[in-house]
């Protein structure tokens, strides 16, 4: 099923920013600095297991349960 990556990214950003638009933007930048460019993924993006694993690892670092 494609689209898992953007689903995880959106969830991570939503939880971490808690509806604050400024924190949403900051969290996107933090992800980019960690090597995840949210703009590259859509609901039809392939489910690359390496990227999915990386997002889970980042979510753990950022204290977000996905």
Partner 1 sequence: MTIQVAYSEKPQPQSAVSEISSQLSSSKPVAVFFFASPIFSPDEISSAMKNAFPEATVVGCSTAGEIVTGKMLKNSIVAMALESDEIEGIASDVIDLSDRKSPAKVAIDLAAKFGEKPMDLDVEKYIGMILIDGLSLGEEKVMERLGDILNITIIGGSAGDNLEFQKTWVYLEGKAYTNAAILTLIKPGCKFDIIKTQSFNRTEKILVPTSVDQEARGVHEFNGKPATEEYAAALGLPEDEISTRFMVNPVGLISGDEPFVRAPYRVEGKSIFFHCQVQKDIELELLTPIDIVEDTRRAILAMEEKVGAIKGLINFNCSERTCLLTQAQKCDEYGALFSDFPTVGFSTYGEELIGHMNNTATMLLFY
2, 10, 34, 47: which one binds partner 1 (CB under 8 A)? 34
- CA-wise closest residue to 65 among 15, 7, 3: 15
Segment interacting with partner 1, rule: CB under 8 A, options 5-13, 15-23, 41-49:
15-23
Candidates 3-11, 29-37, 41-49; binding stretch for partner 1 (CB under 8 A): 29-37
Residue with tokens 């889970």: 56
- Residue 23 burial class via C-beta count within 10 angstroms: exposed 0-12, middle 13-18, buried 19 and up: middle
Among 10, 14, 20, 43, binds partner 1 (CB under 8 A): 20
């Amino acid at each position: 099923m494609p689209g898992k990556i953007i689903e995880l990214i959106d969830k991570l950003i939503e939880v971490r920013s808690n509806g604050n638009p400024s924190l949403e933007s900051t969290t996107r930048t933090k992800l980019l600095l960690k090597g995840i460019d949210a703009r590259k993924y859509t609901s039809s993006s392939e489910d690359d297991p390496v990227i999915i694993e990386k997002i889970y690892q980042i979510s753990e670092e950022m204290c977000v349960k996905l």
